Structure 1
Amino acid sequence: MSARTKLLSAILLTSCYVRLAAAAVAQVWAPPSAGPLVQSSNYTSFSNTTLRDTRVVPGRAFDRIIQVWLENTDFATAASTPLFEQIAQEGILFTNFNALTHTSEPNYVAAIGGDFFGMFNDNMYHVPPNITTVVDLLEERGVSWATYQENMPNTGFYGFTFTAPDYATPSEAPYTYYWRKHNGLPIFDAIAQDPERTARIRTFNDFANDVVNGTLPQWIFVTPNIVNDAHDTTIDFAAQWMQYWLVPLLADSRVNGENTLILLTFDENETHAEQNTVFTLALGNAVPSHLKGTTDDTLYTHYSTISTVEANWELMSLGRQDTNPTVSNVFSFVAEKTGHQNVQVPADEVPMFNLTNVASGPLTSNNFVPFAAPNIFARGAGGRGVLLRPGIDLLLTPERMPAPVNLAAINQSTPWQMSPETVSVKQIIPCDGNACP
């Protein structure tokens, strides 16, 4: 048995000490299924569909990337948790990886669209279909993608939340396990209004089905439910979920293949007064062996997840923060393989990423401005131009943007905010060019 296999086995047997006294909700962790690849009625609906993603577009540093996002934890807290300490020996620990703002939802949106568009809360928003996302970049090169959301009730679900029986404590009231604020993809109309794309907004039962059928896509975004991601519980609770779900998959070649990169990260830190640095770990067989157990102090952010896939597959760019070199460095081991030159940001010039309610944008009522055109002259880490969707007003550059308007002061809200009680995807009216607010 190799040293690596022994380490993975040891991790599987490690017990995590759950400090439930500190939890927002005093729950006892329980596995929602017999294993990460076993479908469960605790996830409401069983999967009878599978993707057909058998074509592989070779990457320059990896052929598959799986992002796993946890919630609201300071770097030091995660780094001192036994399971996280142990699993860090299997990858590269990024010690200067930063979330972008607070609260949760803006970070998820930014990782998909290259901007959080002024959002500073977790309300129900939608982004017009002329705004590009990382999905557009991937599809332009034929790279397959999907997101897998734990406790989302069915494929393509658009709702704000979903409440299900408490599988850990059946005698307790049902629990709201799924939250749309942790699922950035359906917030974009270009995805949510396209049936072929909504079929790729998938459940954990779908994940099990896709693995067993050998049809996992190349770009994957995974969100555990709101207790397993540490949002309503503790980091030790999340560690037990990782021991159940992630650690076995590290040893499964159907998931962690020869050229697979697994990125474990957090949406934001817990202490808003501090810099928004979050524990982030590059795992998987795509990580060079000599770098496992090392650290990387390069400045990264959630925008780096976009620029890294741009560099890896030579994608076009969004022309937003993914092309801002200060905040979109490519993961160093990928930059080395692709020839990308990262920017070394002096410590006294590192932006503060713990902003709340200060940025202007179309997704804030306090400082509302329209959606700006991307920077069409930008060149991203893939070395190519900016990808545009039909209907974008290229004249509406940041320099020509009207002054921000405080809609909240006149009891109005941004037109891109919806009521979670009444919304359905059919109620979203697509905009076209200048008709977009």
Structure 2
Amino acid sequence: MMIFADCKPARAAWVAATVAMLMLWSGCGGSSSSSTTGSTTPPTDPPPASSQVGHVFIVIGENEGYDDILNSTSMPYLNGLVPTGGLATNYYANAHDSLLDYFEVTVGNTIAMDDSYDGTVMDDNVVRALTAAGKTWKCYSQSLPSAGYIDGDSYPYVKRHDPFAYLADVKNDAAQAANIVPLTQLATDTANGTLPDYAFIVPDQTHNAHDCPTANSSCSNDDKLGALDSWLSANISPLLASSTFQSGGDGVMIITFDEAMTTDTTNGGGHVFTLFLGPVVKAGYQSTTLYQHQSALRFALQQLGAQDFPGDSATAPDMTEFLQ
């Protein structure tokens, strides 16, 4: 019996020591674990840039619906590109009028009430994000009076199709404004191998399917589509033939439309044709994911390594499904 009497204190001491050790561990390591569990989840890091993509170019036509473009006999060149690229079959513009959609694809916000807006956009935008990321950009605008022009309409150039002319980052910085250039500069930059990382390419009113090919004349919608198709063939075909957009290149081109006909208000601006092209794009691919212009903005910035996603682009669906 004395043996058991002698062992009880020892066992009790051992238990006490073990409990103390566990409490000590809980007070140190345990508090760290508890703190982690109770803390706010940190923001998700920006999605990584694709090592495949080094150039993103956006080309915008005017006021035509998805069904007006796809398989149109008036647009043989554009439709001939469809099997070589990725087609977004469920892409919608954000609003009517045009300027609101141009802002959405560059600012991530429609900003204005209508096309009459002539203010200065202070919001975060694609230029600010690209500049912070050390990337170059240009807006190639057909019939622009001169490089750096940020003033009003000079038909067939119209300011409302050049969203960069409204941005404070451009209006208040002559060096940034110099990145708005006439369309003729595109051929020079392509030939010289001096294309920017990001480009916004805008046909004028007589070539974008908005107005008749001959100013102030009457015409059919097929005539307008034919003029745009010829413009694409003349201006985009040489670009797609450049090393940037050939095998081994790193270019992605997005051809889209600002809005559908005003009779189509689905999702704001109606169903529009949007095609991805380039050597790293899945050929013959078709997506049924719902996208709008903020996703194109997000795609461009994401692929070029920007860390800032302005406005609606911060939460827009990724378009990386189009890449190989």
- The residue matched to 1:76 in structure 2 has which SS? helix
Q: Please, which moves more after superposition, 311-320 or 232-241?
A: 311-320
User: For residue 364 of structure 1, what is the aligned residue in structure 2?
Assistant: none
Per-residue CA deviations over 1:317-374 (Å, capped at 9, x if unaligned) read 24521123xxx2121336x78xxxxxxxxxxxxxxxxxxxxxxxxxxxxxxxxxxxxx
CA distance in 1, matches of 2:149, 2:320: 36
TM-score, structure 2 as length reference? 0.75
Match status 1:196 vs 2:188? no
CA distance in 1, matches of 2:276, 2:172: 33
User: For residue 319 of structure 2, what is the aligned residue in structure 1?
Assistant: 331
Question: For residues 30-179 of structure 1, what are the structure 2 equivalents within 5 Å?
Answer: 59-82=50-73, 83=76, 84-117=78-111, 119-129=112-122, 131-162=123-154, 176-179=155-158
Task: Return the letter of the residue paired with 1:79.
Answer: L
Task: Return the letter of the residue paired with 1:144.
Answer: T
CA distance in 2, matches of 1:294, 1:255: 17
Equivalent residues of 2:252, 2:277 under 8 A apart = yes
Q: Please, which moves more after superposition, 218-227 or 271-280?
A: 271-280
2:197 to 192, 199, 218: 218
Q: Please, which moves more after superposition, 135-144 or 269-278?
A: 269-278
User: For residue 161 of structure 2, what is the aligned residue in structure 1?
Assistant: 182
Per-residue CA deviations over 1:167-203 (Å, capped at 9, x if unaligned) read xxxxxxxxx2100000011111221110110110111
Structure 2 segments unaligned to the other structure (5+ residues): 1-48, 213-223
**Bigger helix fraction:** 2
In the TM superposition, residue 208 of structure 1 has moved relative to its aligned partner by 2.4
In the TM superposition, residue 75 of structure 1 has moved relative to its aligned partner by 0.5
Q: CA RMSD in A?
A: 2.0
Match status 1:269 vs 2:263? no
The runs of at least 4 consecutive aligned structure 1 residues that moved more than 4 Å come to 254-257
Equivalent residues of 1:78, 1:279 under 8 A apart = yes
Task: Return the letter of the residue paired with 1:246.
Answer: I
CA distance in 2, matches of 1:321, 1:110: 8
Q: 1:120 to 1:201 in 2, by over 3 A?
A: same
Q: 1:267 to 1:279 in 2, by over 3 A?
A: same
Question: For residues 269-418 of structure 1, what are the structure 2 equivalents within 5 Å?
Answer: 269-275=260-266, 276-287=270-281, 291-324=282-315, 328-333=316-321
In the TM superposition, residue 128 of structure 1 has moved relative to its aligned partner by 4.4
Structure 1 segments unaligned to the other structure (5+ residues): 1-57, 163-175, 338-437
In the TM superposition, residue 100 of structure 1 has moved relative to its aligned partner by 0.5
Equivalent residues of 2:244, 2:250 under 8 A apart = no
TM-score, structure 1 as length reference? 0.56
- The residue matched to 2:135 in structure 1 has which SS? coil
CA distance in 2, matches of 1:144, 1:249: 17
- The residue matched to 1:245 in structure 2 has which SS? helix
> More relative contact order in 1 or in 2 (CA 8 Å, sep 6+)?
2
Per-residue CA deviations over 1:26-75 (Å, capped at 9, x if unaligned) read xxxxxxxxxxxxxxxxxxxxxxxxxxxxxxxx843411011000000010
- The residue matched to 2:131 in structure 1 has which SS? helix
Q: Size of the alignment, in residue pairs? A: 258
Equivalent residues of 1:101, 1:120 under 8 A apart = no
Q: Please, which moves more after superposition, 315-324 or 272-281?
A: 315-324
Equivalent residues of 2:130, 2:136 under 8 A apart = yes
- The residue matched to 1:120 in structure 2 has which SS? coil
Equivalent residues of 1:62, 1:260 under 8 A apart = yes
In the TM superposition, residue 145 of structure 1 has moved relative to its aligned partner by 0.8
In the TM superposition, residue 254 of structure 1 has moved relative to its aligned partner by 5.3
Task: Return the letter of the residue paired with 2:173.
Answer: D
- The residue matched to 1:177 in structure 2 has which SS? coil
Rg larger in structure: 2
Q: 1:116 to 1:190 in 2, by over 3 A?
A: same
User: For residue 170 of structure 1, what is the aligned residue in structure 2?
Assistant: none
Equivalent residues of 1:148, 1:220 under 8 A apart = yes
Report sequence identity in percent.
24
- The residue matched to 1:263 in structure 2 has which SS? strand
1:250 to 235, 240, 252: 240
Per-residue CA deviations over 1:203-235 (Å, capped at 9, x if unaligned) read 112222222222110100000111111010322
